[in-house]
Amino acid sequence: MSKYSYRSNPEMKKSIVLLLHASLVLTIATVLFGCATNRKDQTESLSGDLVIFHAGSLSVPIKEISSAFKLENPQINIMLEAAGSVESARKITDLNKPCDIMASADYAVIDKMLIPEFADWNIRFASNEMAIVFTAKSRKSNEITAANWYNIMLEDDVQIGRADPNSDPCGYRTVMVTKLAEKHYKHKGLSDKLLSKNQNNMRQKETDLLALLETGNLDFIFLYRSLAVQHHLKYILLPDEINLKNPDFTELYNTATVEINGKKPGEKNILKGEPMVYGITILHNAPNKPAALAFAKFLLSKDKGMAIMEKSGQPSMVPSVTNTFDKIPVALKIFATNPTK
């Protein structure tokens, strides 16, 4: 054997071992760098503005969900715009305002106003219930109960407020609640009495009423229980026959109808009472669909967005049946169920 063979040359053998070791280290480093780069590229691929129109009653949880989502996707600039759900839909249908995601306090707003012209699908994701909300400063706050709430609200020195039915689901749900209350308490004319009182206190969306309540300009408002929880306000829970919460009373809720303005001037829509269900969709012409899809997935995930929703007093309904299941993006189908199966 040659004297230069590595087997007989300790120095050469040592050099080869060192070379193999360096090569192994370089290979591992390359793999790790590649993985890190891939993760970085995936994160940075989601960037730009993300425009979300959402119901006023979603303001607190959506803001918190957006902050959590942004920690994972720092390159995305989230732009939140709260309004009554009907008003939000009209910004899309009438004003053609750019929007990626629409989250409505009533899934039916998406079904009736956006599908199929402006969106393809709708995922129902959370529930709520109507309540009578007030503060310790409200007149008669020490006297109101679940049994006498409507009598207290009708007293002359008490100021009550509600949202506009033509702008906000909370508004037309208030009308439904008064009609159901009239039937439940067998109090003829109760709905008209409540709806005609203090009409100057009506506002475009339910969150506009909060400031008036907290400053003492209003004593009691018809509002979602979740908002009372989020803003640490006092509230009276209503019977399930009235509160639009319990699916077991769907048939009863259907008997309470409300007429609101339609898509076109002079057009009217008749809405029937239903259990309160929130819906979310991504618009056809969403300027940033990749970010919108990622945000929707984050919001609908049990351990992420829906955990925040639950904490905010809005119970999860994920997954729920939807008639638009076939149109839902593949990545979001796990958050809905097909009614045909």
- Same structural domain, 78 and 148: no
Looking at residue 224, its pLDDT comes to: 93
Instruction: Name the domain count of the chain.
Output: 2
- Condensed to tens digits (0 to 9), the pLDDT of residues 162-187 reads 999 998 899 999 999 999 999 999 99
Q: Is the pLDDT of residue 251 over 90?
A: yes
- As given in the structure block, the two tokens for residue 286 are 């969403």
CA torsion 17-37-296-331 (nearest 10°) is -60
Average pLDDT over residues 98-123: 96
- Condensed to tens digits (0 to 9), the pLDDT of residues 122-139 reads 999 999 999 999 999 999
Average pLDDT over residues 309-329: 95
Residue 40 pLDDT level (bands cut at 50, 70, 90): very low
Looking at residue 24, its pLDDT comes to: 55
- Same structural domain, 81 and 173: no
Q: Of 31-35, 129-133, 278-282, give the lowest mean pLDDT range.
A: 31-35
Q: Of 43-52, 183-192, 246-255, give the lowest mean pLDDT range.
A: 43-52
Residue 267 lies in a domain: no
Domain span at 304: 53-127+278-337
- As given in the structure block, the two tokens for residue 24 are 């192994």
Neighbours of 311 (CB within 10 A): 13
The domain that contains 287 carries what CATH number?
Answer: 3.40.190.10
pTM: 0.77
Per cent of the chain over pLDDT 90 is 79
- Condensed to tens digits (0 to 9), the pLDDT of residues 226-248 reads 999 999 999 999 999 999 999 89
Among residues 166, 238, 170, which one has the least CA distance to residue 207?
170
Residue 15 lies in a domain: no
- Same structural domain, 123 and 135: no
Boundary of a domain, candidates 234, 261, 288: 261
Q: Of 50-54, 85-89, 266-270, 279-283, give the lowest mean pLDDT range.
A: 266-270
Q: Is the pLDDT of residue 31 over 80?
A: no
Strand order in the sheet with 160-161: 160-161, 220-224, 130-134, 234-237
